[in-house]
Every structure is written in structure tokens, then in C-alpha cells.
Structure 1
Amino acid sequence: MRTLLNPRMAGLDEDGNPIDGHEEAVLTVDERNRLHAKYGAPESAEEGDGPALPREAYDYLATGGLSACGGCQHTMVGARVTGEGAPSYRCPSPTDSAQSCGRVRMTAELLETALGEEVLAELMRPGVRDQLGQIQQDIRDEVARLRVHIQGANQRFTELGDLHGRGLLVKAAFLAAQKATKQDLKDSRSRLRLLEQIEGVDLGHVEDLVAWWNNAPQASRRALVALVVERVYVLPSGHGPHDPHERLNIVWRTKN
């Protein structure tokens, strides 16, 4: 019963969401729910066993603004990995401050494997690697602009407070402007962190891209992806469930 009540027996992850690409299951979701309702969580087989502890944090390849929900366009986040749950990208549940849909999810293995293959294929197109130097310079220019913009945040907050203090902004307008300014600062910092990873990418000496990718640290892979990809939109599972490539809508820097 302990084994049968594992959500993976019904093709579900630890949060009860369907696992992408999990085509076969021992139980249907309804059967698993009925078993769980009747028997509940079984007693531990070993004295001292407790709830599953969080595993070591997974180093996601395409978070930090690089991936987005193909349904609502909101930035995807990496799910916290616990127990036997597989690392996955998910659109966060909607909140008062986040207009996300919370409906799109894809396992990290499927997304990152497909994305890596797409990136390598793009880099092998004739002329693409010749574009990388100009793309990096454009990114350096954007990094410089973002740093100036972030440094000016305190001045913008001060000016808002001054306008409110002089009665030129009613409280509701002041709070809305302050909230928007905080969100802009958060987004700008996230964008800066992503772009700063790209500045050191150098493929000039790399002849075998596939071998380089297979042996490179995750940080180097992430920087390469961010160099050629503006954003990758993850479509709902109904779009090509048997081929993860069909669920990725990639906006390329190299095709702008």
C-alpha cells in the first residue's frame, strides 16, 4: 500500500500534477485518490521515518526570466524538489501581485534536453556563430544601461515621495507608482543577472559544440543559452505531448 499510494504510480508528481511524458501508470488518478481516501498515508515501514526532506537544490538551466509560460506569458520558476519528485519548471499560481495562470508545467529533464538540442542546432546553422560577437556587444550595452537604471532607483523613490508629500499624488496613486517602481527594480536586477552571465562566453576555440555542451558546467551552458535565446515559451502539455520540442516556442537573438 505504501508503494501504491506513491503519486508516481498514477503519473503524478509530489504536488499532484501530471508528469509530462509519463505515458504509463499503474493506477488512474481516480483510483489512486480512492485508495488514498480509504487508507490514507500508511505507517512508516521503519521506525523514525518521517516526511520526505527537501533534496539539494536543483540548478535549473532556464529560470531567472529566460523561460516563460506559453499560456499567460508569466516567467516560469523552478519547483522545489522534495522526496522523489522530479525537478520541473512551472508557471506560478496567481496572486494579487502576479497575474500568472499556474497551469503550465514541464519536467526539467524534458525541457532542458530539448532546449539544449535546439540551441546546438541553431549554433550549427551557417553564419550564426559569426553573429555572436555583435550580439554580445549589444548585450554589454544593455548591461550598462541597466546598471545606470538600477542605480537611479533611489532617486525615483525619493521623487515619488516628494510628489506625494507636496500633495501632487493622492495616496492610492502614490502606492501604485511605488509598487510599480519596486517591481521594475526587481525585474531589472533579474535581467541584469541573466545578461551578466553572457559577457564571458567565448566559443572561438570550440570546434565540437556537442562535446563542449556535454562536459560544460551548468553555469556555462546557461550563459550560452542566454546568448542565443531571448526567451523560451513553454506551451501547455496538449501541444505535442510526445515530443518536448513541440512544446517550446523559442525567440532567438540570432534571428532578430
Structure 2
Amino acid sequence: MYGYASPGVLAPAEASALRNAVSRLFGEVSKDEGPQSEGEVVRRMNQEGLTTARGNPWRREVLHRLLTNPRIAGLDPSGEPIEGWGESVLTPAQFFRLDALFTERSSQRATPREPHEYLLTGGGATCGNCGTWMTGARVHSDAPPSYRCPPPTDSVKSCGSVRMNADRLEDPVAEQVLAELLKPGAQEHLEALQADVEAEVARLRQHIEGADARFASIGDLHGRGLMVESAFLAAQKANKDDLRLSRARLHYLEQMTDLPIGGVHDLVHWWNTAPHASKKALVLLEIEQVRVLPQQAGSNDPHGRIQIKWRQAVA
């Protein structure tokens, strides 16, 4: 959880970033600025080069979900202190005050539009200009859902110039995926891909489970004077970065492991009735990456803006 190195043990830089964000929400940073919205706070965080635990730019909904999690104040879901939790990012009083602020602001907002379930976020679609993962967004509240290359920040060198409406990207990709799966041998190929993913998931889980032992070994070497301070800090950072990337990769792969299509004969009918999570699992399993190219003048064919790199089974 962002803000913590482990349950009840703070990650100082992350905790400080969150406390500063909360101060901005309350308007306690500057009398001239006053209370800020979550969107304004997130824009400031991204401008300062801060990223989420997975290394992605901050989004309003991500910050909101984090700050409404009782564990941010060392509390359980019922609002009671967790025994033995240790330090917390926020005090319980701050958490309850923040909850009241969110409730008040929510009552003042118009009813939000139904959220779109994006098919290719999280690395499925990348910008054809700079290779950055595209995010799901609306240009404004009344606009249709779309994919866009996020604006550049100090930590993300994106171009921010490529955008495509979600239906114009997702529908052609789905058509091509289904066409591939109707070819002879497609079921066997899909089973091989699933086996590869399951094997990598098992390796990643084992690697993540060994993180505590690796951190303990580094600490032991440092404590015994066998590692200088600079090497100790560098090793800690390298292991923390590795753990963050491994968890992000595991989360990405786990979306593909629960795909109940064995024995399905009418794949088109299955697609039209399957839950979104299963459709996304199928697409991510078949496709390694979809490059979204910039709009060309005079062209209105969405297929011309899409380049699919198909996933190959390990020989």
C-alpha cells in the first residue's frame, strides 16, 4: 500500500507526499490557494514527478481510493484501530475529517456518467509515437471514453499527443482477436499461451515471497559493517524497484489466468455474453501489445491506426 514499506511501517517519502496531498485538500498549505480539488492535487503531484506504487502517473480515482482506505490511518473496515499496526500515514481524526470532506463534495457534484470498462489499459495499448502506456480518459464530462498518451512529467517522458476513441480502438482489436481464434489450431495455441502465463505467475509469486528475505540479508550485511551506507541504500532501492515492477507484472498477468473458454464452440456468442474481465483476459492473452498510431489527415479507417503484436507461445 502506497505510504507504507510494510503494514504499520511507513515509507517516509511516500507518507510525506500523501500528507502534503491531504493538506492541499484541506487548504492548509497556503491561505492564498485555499482548499484544492482531488484533480488539482493530482496534477500537482504529477508535476512534481511523483508516481504511484506501480510507477504510473497519479489519477484522481487512484488517490481517492487510497485516501478512503481505513488502513491509511491504521484502522480496520469498521473504523477501529488495528492492533499492533504501528505508525500510520494519517491520524484517525484526519481520516474521519477527510471522509466528511469527500462526503460533502460528493453531494455537491452532479451524478457522474457510467464508467467505461476499458479493454486495453494497463499496458495493452501503447502510444505509437513514444511507446508510453495509454490511459483511459474522457476529454470532458460529456465526451465519449477514449485512450490517450498521458501528458509528460519529470518521471514519464511521454509525448501526450496521441488519442483515440475507445470504441474505434477496442472494436477493431476485438474483431482481429476473434478472427485469429477462429483459425485452425487456435485452441491449442491459446492453451499453450495460458500455460506460459501460469508458469511466469508462479515464478513471480515465488520471487515476491522471497523479498523479505532479500531485504533482511541486505540489512544484516549493513548491520555487521560489511556494506557501506551508499551501497546499502542503492541495494535497498534496487530491491524495492524490483519488487514494485514484479508486483505490477504479476497483477497484469493474473488478469489472463482465469479464462473459462475451454470447450467453447461458438466463440462469437461467448464474446457477446462474457463478462468484461473474461474478455479482457482473452485479449491480453492473445495480444502482447497494440500500438496506436497518430491520426492521419484524410483517413478515417481505425484499422489503419492499429498495429498488433501477437503473443507467441514459448517453444
Fold shared by both chains (TM-score > 0.5): yes
- The equivalent residue for 2:154 is 96
Q: CA deviation at 1:188?
A: 2.4
Q: Deviations for 1:200-241, whole angstroms, at most 9, x for unmatched residues? A: 213232222222112211111001111211121212223994
Distance 1:169 1:188 in 2: 27
Matched, 1:112 2:112: no
Matched, 1:137 2:195: yes
Structure 1 segment 119-130 matched on structure 2, within 5 A: 119-130=177-188
8 Å contact 2:126–2:290 — kept in the other structure? yes
- The equivalent residue for 1:87 is 145
Partner SS, residue 122 of structure 1: helix
- The equivalent residue for 2:269 is 211
- Identify the range of structure 1 (181-190 vs 90-99) with the bigger mean alpha-carbon deviation: 181-190
| Greater relative contact order (CA < 8 Å, ≥ 6 in sequence) | 1
Q: CA deviation at 1:131?
A: 1.2
Matched, 1:231 2:282: no
Q: Deviations for 1:143-163, whole angstroms, at most 9, x for unmatched residues? A: 011112222334444555667
- The equivalent residue for 1:19 is none
Q: 5+ unaligned residues in a row in structure 1: which ranges?
A: 1-49
Percent identity over paired residues: 54
Distance 1:164 1:57 in 2: 49
Matched, 1:185 2:243: yes
Distance 1:248 1:161, change over 3 A: farther
Q: Deviations for 1:23-57, whole angstroms, at most 9, x for unmatched residues? A: xxxxxxxxxxxxxxxxxxxxxxxxxxx98664343
Distance 2:172 2:111 in 1: 29
Structure 1 segment 38-53 matched on structure 2, within 5 A: none
Distance 2:269 2:210 in 1: 43
Distance 2:163 2:177 in 1: 21
Q: 5+ unaligned residues in a row in structure 2: which ranges?
A: 1-107
Amino acid at match of 2:148: R
Partner SS, residue 199 of structure 1: coil
Distance 2:146 2:290 in 1: 15
Distance 1:156 1:239, change over 3 A: farther
8 Å contact 1:65–1:190 — kept in the other structure? no
Distance 1:203 1:178, change over 3 A: same
Q: Deviations for 1:100-136, whole angstroms, at most 9, x for unmatched residues? A: 2222211111111111011011111222222111111
CA RMSD of aligned residues (A): 3.0
Distance 1:117 1:86 in 2: 21
Question: Scaled by the length of structure 2, what TM-score is found?
Answer: 0.56
Matched, 1:196 2:254: yes
Distance 1:232 1:239 in 2: 21
Q: CA deviation at 1:69?
A: 1.6
- The equivalent residue for 1:253 is 311
- The equivalent residue for 1:41 is none
- The equivalent residue for 2:205 is 147
- Identify the range of structure 1 (51-60 vs 129-138) with the bigger mean alpha-carbon deviation: 51-60
Q: Deviations for 1:178-211, whole angstroms, at most 9, x for unmatched residues? A: 5554444333223222322222213232222222
Distance 1:155 1:122 in 2: 44
Distance 1:114 1:143, change over 3 A: same
- The equivalent residue for 1:32 is none
Distance 1:94 1:169 in 2: 36
How many residue pairs end up in the alignment?
206
Question: Scaled by the length of structure 1, what TM-score is found?
Answer: 0.68
Distance 1:152 1:248, change over 3 A: farther
8 Å contact 1:231–1:250 — kept in the other structure? yes
Q: CA deviation at 1:99?
A: 2.3
